[in-house]
Amino acid sequence: KALAQGGKSILISSHILTELSEMCDSVAVIEKGELRATGSVQGVLQSIQSFIQIFVRTIAPRELTERTLRELPNIDKIRHDGLGLVFEYTGTEEQLCQVLEILVSQGCKPVEFSQRSQNLEDLFLAMTEGKLQ
């Protein structure tokens, strides 16, 4: 960071993406020798992001919430995360409001419902389909 403030650039090649996201201003994703994406970390994340991740924690049993979510459109890849669930959402904001309304009406009793931000790890997995070489 001190070198960057002095106008210097450093090229780092690493698979430890959580550390890179803390120190990098820009990123280049290279897979099998092909440049897949380049730009600011946020810019690249936004350009490839076709979904948002939503975290929901409910008072009702997690199974009821998961079953309710599975019946709704625009929801994919539901997984357990701590005391709640995370899912990928591809619909509009208006439809997302309806998801919350349905969870309430079905007795799931949501106490947390928020968007999760994506990171470099998510970017890499989305661009390479999680395949490591």
Beta bridge partners of 88: 53, 76
pTM: 0.61
Rounded percentage of the chain residues whose pLDDT exceeds 70: 83
Bin 77: left if φ > 0, else alpha if -120 < ψ < 50, else beta: left
Q: Tens digit of pLDDT for each residue in 70-115?
A: 999 999 999 999 999 999 999 999 999 999 999 999 999 999 999 8
